Amino acid sequence: MFNSPSVIVGLEIGTSKICAVVGEVNESDELNITGIGQCRSRGVRKGEIVDSGRAEEDIRVAIAEAEQMADVEIRSVYLGVTGSHIASLVNRGVHPVVSADREISNDDVEDAIKNAKAVRLPADNEILHATRHHFMVDGQEGIVDPVGMLGSRVEIDMHVIHGNINRLQNPIRSVKNLQLEVDSVVFNGLAAALSVLTPEQRRMGALVIDIGGGVTNYIVYGGGAIKHAGVLAVGGDHLTNDLAYGLKVPLKRAEQLKVDYGAALVTDSIRGQTVTTVAELGLPSKTINLEHLQHIMSLRVEEMFQLIEQEIAAAGLLNYLSAGVVLCGGASRVPRIQEAAERVFQLPVTLGRANSISGIKSALDQPEFATAIGLVRFGSFQEKRKPRATSLGSVIKETFFSFRRSMV
């Protein structure tokens, strides 16, 4: 069974935490966050489930907490997915206009779209999201509706986010094992963008980078449509690993040092400063040079941004980011990460906040909840698109696909 149409639930099965967010759409079509549940995640690595038993226990806790706070019974979720197998491509559909008068007909447009949809994916891959861009007629870009125009060639680009079908199925199975339905599967990077970008920023062109614990999702919007998306199998936990290795401290201590003293660039005022950790659980105390600590972090952060910058540059999109770069995810809390990103991208960088959404302020202000909140927003768009059901059967038919080809 599915939630009532006004109740929308987003579920992110993250590497650091499982997060369920409940939203309700009121009569004025406004989205209000009414509940949030979270649980430390124990069965996920690099954004994908590696221990389904533990992951399911943790999902159950997060869902129960969200149900209690929102005072609803959750029956279905918009499920966020990520992982290094997720990638994107653009497929161009080309159609020659053959009529004698060269007037573009409805059929010409349909054929161009059909060709764009004939995407060749790597073996075992499935489409998660397919987005149509504007049309081109004889090389003229940005055409909204070519029907009735004159031309000899109609073209359209289809942007596709895809992933390995088996790896996408794993989180779906875990959710279904808990007697919950999946309304739709959504790429986490897309959800994050829907949460932190305004429609104006999506039109102007922006890059959203969601830096989590195990992965970093990124997505480029331009002209209101998705232009590029991808996943780096590196996140905030790699900063912790680097510190543990570089400072020769256990992981738990490295995590604490990262949060207490970390920065994405070396801060002048800490040069020469040290901190001495207390001896505990058989571990001797240790004196840490803070410049060394921040230097280790700055190298990894710079490398992460450089990898994304190279990818965006290779896709020819760096000059289209008029609204700059927006960071979210738990690791966007690292001090001076904004400046570090500005140095690499040579663009203005801001820290993302969930916008145009009301409700529990403590959730809306946390960068690590941006993805789960964005899943709710995605759901609200989907619910709006659904034809008002005339029968229960049609509702089920409409929503039961695991991989709905959504046009966002």
Give me the residues that bind ligand ATP (CB under 6 A), please.
12, 14-17, 41, 47, 212-215, 235-237, 255, 258-259, 262, 329-331, 333-334, 368
Segment interacting with Mg ion (CB under 5 A) among 92-100, 161-169, 178-186, 210-218: 210-218
**Residue placing its CB nearer to ligand ATP in the complex, 111 or 291:** 291
| Nearest distance from C-beta of residue 253 to Mg ion, angstroms | 24
Interaction with Mg ion in 352-371: which residues (CB under 5 A)?
371
Task: Quickly tell me which residue has 């990520």 as its tokens.
Answer: 82
Looking at the chain, the number of H-run helices and the number of E-run strands are: 12, 19
Q: From the CB of 356, what's the least distance to ligand ATP, in Å?
A: 21
Give the β-pairing of 125-137 and 140-143: antiparallel
Question: Which of these segments, 112-120, 205-213, 259-267, 303-311, binds Mg ion (CB under 5 A)?
Answer: 205-213
CA distance 318 to 325: 10
Residues 6+ apart with CB under 8 A from 154: 94, 95, 97, 104, 108, 109, 111, 112, 135, 136, 137, 146
Residue corresponding to tokens 């579920």: 11
Nearer to ligand ATP, 1 or 259 (CB): 259
Q: How far is the CB of 353 from Mg ion (least distance, A)?
A: 16
CB of 368 to Mg ion, least distance (A): 7
Q: Which residue is nearest to ligand ATP (CB)?
A: 330
Asked whether position 235 contacts Mg ion by CB under 5 A, the answer is no
Shortest Å, Cβ 214 to ligand ATP: 4
The token duo for 304 is: 């992460």
Q: How far from 301 is each of 228, 339, 379, CA to CA, in Å? A: 21, 11, 32
- Three-state DSSP state, 348: coil
- Distance between CA atoms of residues 85 and 88, nearest Å: 10
The nearer residue to ligand ATP, 214 or 374, going by C-beta atoms, is: 214
The answer to whether 23 contacts Mg ion (rule: CB under 5 A) is no
Report the nearest approach of Mg ion to the CB of residue 14 (Å): 4
Q: Is 77 helix (H, G, I), strand (E, B) or coil?
A: strand
Could you give the residue ranges of the DSSP H alpha helices within 185-289? 188-196, 199-204, 236-247, 251-261
Structural tokens at position 44: 């996920």
Per CB under 5 A, 374 contacts Mg ion: no
Stretch that binds Mg ion, among 9-17, 130-138, 319-327, 382-390 (CB under 5 A): 9-17
Instruction: Report yes or no: 21 and 369 within 8 Å, Cβ to Cβ.
Output: yes
Among 14, 37, 83, 151, binds Mg ion (CB under 5 A): 14
* Pairing mode of beta strands 325-328, 206-211: parallel
Closer residue to ligand ATP in complex, CB, 116/197: 197
* Single-letter amino acid code for the residue at 51: D
| Smallest separation (angstroms) from Mg ion to the CB of 219 | 13
CB-nearer residue toward Mg ion: 331 or 349:
331
Instruction: Give which of 260, 255, 279 is closest to 270, Cα–Cα.
Output: 260
Residue type, 68: Q
If one asks whether residue 212 binds Mg ion (CB under 5 A), the answer comes out as yes
Q: CB 329 → ligand ATP: shortest distance, Å?
A: 4
Q: Which does 205 bind (CB under 5 to 8 A by kind): Mg ion, ligand ATP, none?
A: none
**Residue 48 binds what, of ligand ATP, Mg ion, none (CB under 5 to 8 Å, by partner type)?**
none
The contact set with Mg ion (CB under 5 A) reads 14, 212, 371
